[in-house]
Chains A and B, each alone.
Chain A
Amino acid sequence: MSLNFLIAPDFAPERFAGWHMLNTVLQKRSGESLHLLTPASAAEQAELIAKGDVAAVYANPFDAASMIRDAGYIAVARPLGKSDEMVMATRADSPLNSIEGLKPGCKIALTDNKDVKLIGLRLLEAADLTEADVQWQLVESYQAAARMTIKGEVDIGFFLAEAYNSLSRLTKTQLKPLMESKLADITHVLLIHPRIGASLDKLRDALLGLAGTADGQPALDELGIEQGFEAMSVEDGEFMIDLMDTLLS
């Protein structure tokens, strides 16, 4: 029987092929049959998890907390040298030069990526802005957030740093980053559910052994996770949940 492997819906579009490459090499190395799930939204992801037949999840840290504590997943690995960062950017000719120039009532475009919003909200505290002070403009994609920002329909856009960096050169020349997070300690995590029994160890070992190998490294390169994955202990997972908890308010 195939094991479902779900990828959180916040990866940059050009990584899509990389996830399929990873899925293929993990199947080969673990001997397990894997079915890749790439939900298009956080809501679709939640529906799939609620069905109870997702074996492994590459989860963003915000969602990982409830998947571990409420759904029983175990954090087994995280990407090395690839932390979850965000960028706040305004249009290139905006008079804004720092987030301290933002005032209550300002407009911010963002996608439904909860990590980016959470981190952004915490960083906006330095400008004395709370969630209620902002007129949020929810958009479908980072490209749409960039378009709204460039047109001046919003004061700034919130971007996953990787998505911002993958915007076209032309788009980026029309934007001005005001702040880039350097959190370093918050990353996506690979969660596996213990209900799959011995397959858990096979999948984890296959993932941890990819770096530097002829079949594994190309997939890692395609994903922008060049250094591969490192093992996480149960305590590492709990610590990350505690970290996220401190950011929740």
Chain B
Amino acid sequence: MVFPPMQPAADATVAREHTYHDGSSRTVMVSEREIAYPQGRLIISRTDLDGIITHANDAFVELSGYAREDLIGQPHAILRHPDMPRAAFKDLWTTVAAGKKWHGYVKNLCKDGSHYWVYATAVPNVRGGKIVGYTSVRRQPSRAKIAEITATYKEWLAKEGSPA
């Protein structure tokens, strides 16, 4: 996978290497800075069957830091933060490809290396009995749930052999 370049902020000083499911890799710059979830909003995106972004609403664009034209046509993994275990996304794609709804907590990477937490729901778009793409809607998670899942994801990452 090839992504548009990040634009790391001054505090995004840690370089982290990602390897994606297709074997490609990318070095991302991350900071510890968390962007607060915008109260009362939903982040909405759609992808095709290959996970390529076909629709991004305004909240998605604003929070990611990318321009809409930078996002459309890119793999949804452009948002993948290195603190997210591969197992979480494997579960997501396996679930929706089977025609089911998936829920989970996700730490997303912004263009400048900061991050934001979401509670995500993904559903398959079934048209005429066939899955033609996927819709994901993200909403604000509670701080307690973020604390719980942060610990869980660290364990998963350790098992996967990646640094947390």
Q: Which residues in A have some Cβ–Cβ distance to B below 8 Å?
A: 122-123, 125-128, 179-185, 235, 238-239, 242-243, 245-247, 249
Closest chain A residue, CB of each to CB of B103: A249
B58→A122 contact, CB < 8 A: no
* B125 / chain A contacts, CB cutoff of 8 Å: 238-239, 242
- A to B contact number (C-beta, < 8 Å): 62
**11 further contact pairs, Cβ within 8 A, besides A126-B139, A127-B142, A246-B123:** A125-B119, A126-B39, A126-B140, A179-B40, A182-B41, A183-B40, A183-B41, A183-B42, A239-B46, A239-B135, A249-B101
Residue among A122, A179, A249 with most chain B CB within 10 A: A122
The complex places the Cα of A168 from the Cα of B114 at a distance, in Å, of: 43
Q: Is B57 an interface residue (CB 8 A)?
A: yes
B141→A125 contact, CB < 8 A: yes
B46–chain A nearest beta-carbon distance, Å: 7
The complex places the Cα of A242 from the Cα of B42 at a distance, in Å, of: 14
Closest chain B residue, CB of each to CB of A99: B39
Q: How large is the interface on B (under 10, 10 to 19, 20 to 34, 35 or more residues)?
A: 20 to 34
A182→B40 contact, CB < 8 A: yes
B145→A245 contact, CB < 8 A: no
B121-141 interface bits toward A, Cβ cutoff 8 Å, 1 = contact, 0 = none? 111010100000001110111
Q: What are 11 A-B pairs with beta-carbon distances under 8 A?
A: A123-B139, A125-B141, A182-B40, A185-B42, A185-B57, A239-B135, A242-B123, A245-B101, A246-B122, A246-B123, A247-B121
A134–chain B nearest beta-carbon distance, Å: 15
Q: Which residues in B have some Cβ–Cβ distance to A below 8 Å?
A: 37-42, 44, 46, 57-59, 101, 103, 119, 121-123, 125, 127, 135-137, 139-142, 144-145
A245→B123 contact, CB < 8 A: yes
Residue among B40, B103, B123, B142 with most chain A CB within 10 A: B40
Partner of B139, one of A122, A128, A185: A122
* A239 / chain B contacts, CB cutoff of 8 Å: 46, 125, 135
A247–chain B nearest beta-carbon distance, Å: 7
